[in-house]
Amino acid sequence: MNENGDTSIEPRIEHCLNCEKRLSNERYCPDCGQLNVNKNITIWSLFQDFMGDYFSFDSKFFTTLIPLFTKPGQVPLEFLQGKRIRHIPPFRILIFSSFLFFFIWGLTFNPDEKDPRRISSFIKEEIAKSDVEVEQVKDSLSLALDSLTLLPQSIEADIRLGRFQADLKELEQESNGIFKFTGDDSVSTKSRFINKIVTILRMVEEGNSIKLAVDTVAKDNTANEKKVLTQIAKVSTSDRGTLIKYFIGNLSLIILIIQPFLALLLKLIYIRKRQHFKYIGHLIFSFYFHAWVLVLFTLFILIKQIWEGMPLAAFVLIPSMIYLLLAVRRYYGQGWPKTVLKTLLIALGYLCFIAPFFLFCSFAASFYFF
């Protein structure tokens, strides 16, 4: 220990490396505030700088993470009450847990190598099967229709013909237009669109660019239709691992966007507590809750590397419901009957409306910008 009571063993220098001020064994420069250490840089010092600047990786990490797991709802409640020096701020811990989750997921993600075929092969196989079935049904029904129209125009034939045409119309309605039976045997819009997709994929596999294939096949289509065909071709000719990585990568933004909507749901459910819990209070709860869920998902990924049969529901979904129940009980301070009812409402609103909507938006955005 030196004369200033500092237990650090880092060597000191006589002048600040940043502003050149002469120092007298001070730990920090009194002018610019830079730490008084020598020029030697280690990997550990770089790691400490990174974690300290962006995630405040110090004693707060443990005083936040441990009670976050052992006392649901305690950390956001203490932060709301002003006891903030001991905890990592809610937005920062959400960013940290999100970074940790996606980092671990990226390290452990291993696409299925047993079946490396691209999506296009599956699409074309299914389309080929559908085309065969469609043509077989259309041919058989058209022959039957022709045979009926050649019958003598008796009352019985008229009845049979009317019934058969009614059956054709019902089949057309049930198939959403895939089976289209008109006098000139025209092909439906959906069938033409599928045929264009197949043609584009075939041209791409022959070595043509996607842009050339789309411009050639869809020259009469609108710009939006060409965009859809282009994206379908991009997705269809990409391997599944690339698609999954791209989609999961976009979830980091969805996690941030979803926060104010869960906070709004909490505000509506706890509308009578608006004097004690303003909107920002619900947002703080949402930040810490999602941080806990992300850490739990990270642990699930790590354990799954050892135990492949680890069920998601048993390790994540069920514990999350129990944690949410205990957290809102402690945070909002209501009795068990109201807490159980409101927890069910939160879970219902989140799982049935908020999460599906933003997952759909993420899928749509991933498809459009892929």
Residues β-bridged to residue 35: 28
Nearest to 354 by CA among 281, 247, 211, 258: 258
For the residues of 207-229, what is the DSSP string, one character each? T--HHHHHHHHTTTS-HHHHHHH
Task: Return the ∠ at Cα 77 (arms to 76 and 80), rounded to 5°.
Answer: 85
Tell me how far CA of residue 113 lies from CA of 22, 178, 241, 263, 307, in angstroms: 62, 35, 9, 41, 19
Q: For residue 127, which of 236, 238, 276, 218 has the smallest C-alpha distance?
A: 236
| 310 close to 304: Cβ distance less than 8 angstroms | yes
Listed by start position, the domains of the chain span 1-40, 90-113+240-369, 119-236
H or E element, residue 273: none
C-alpha–C-alpha distance, residues 369 and 151, integer Å: 57
Residue 37's Cβ-count burial label (10 Å; 0-12, 13-18, 19+) is middle
Residue 241: the pLDDT is 79
pLDDT given for residue 46 in this prediction: 55
**Residue 119 CB partners (closer than 8 Å, separation 6+):** 235, 236, 237, 238, 239, 240, 243
Q: Look up residue 10 and give its DSSP letter.
A: P
DSSP assignment of 309-358, as one string?
A: T--HIIIIIHHHHHHHHHHHHHHH---HHHHHHHHHHHHHHIIIIIHHHH
The SS3 call for residue 28 is strand
Q: What is the DSSP string of 170-217?
A: HHHHHTTTSS---TT-PPPHHHHHHHHHHHHHHHHHTT--HHHHHHHH
Kindly give the confidence (pLDDT) of every residue in the chain, 370 residues in length, as a single tens digit, with 9 standing for 90 and above.
444 444 444 556 777 776 777 777 777 787 776 776 665 555 565 555 555 555 545 567 888 889 999 999 999 999 888 888 788 888 889 999 999 999 999 888 876 644 444 555 555 555 555 555 555 555 555 555 555 454 444 444 444 445 545 555 554 554 444 444 444 444 456 667 777 888 888 888 888 888 888 888 888 888 888 898 888 888 888 877 788 888 888 888 899 999 999 999 999 999 988 777 889 999 999 999 999 999 999 999 999 888 888 888 788 889 999 999 999 999 999 999 999 999 999 999 999 999 999 999 888 888 888 8
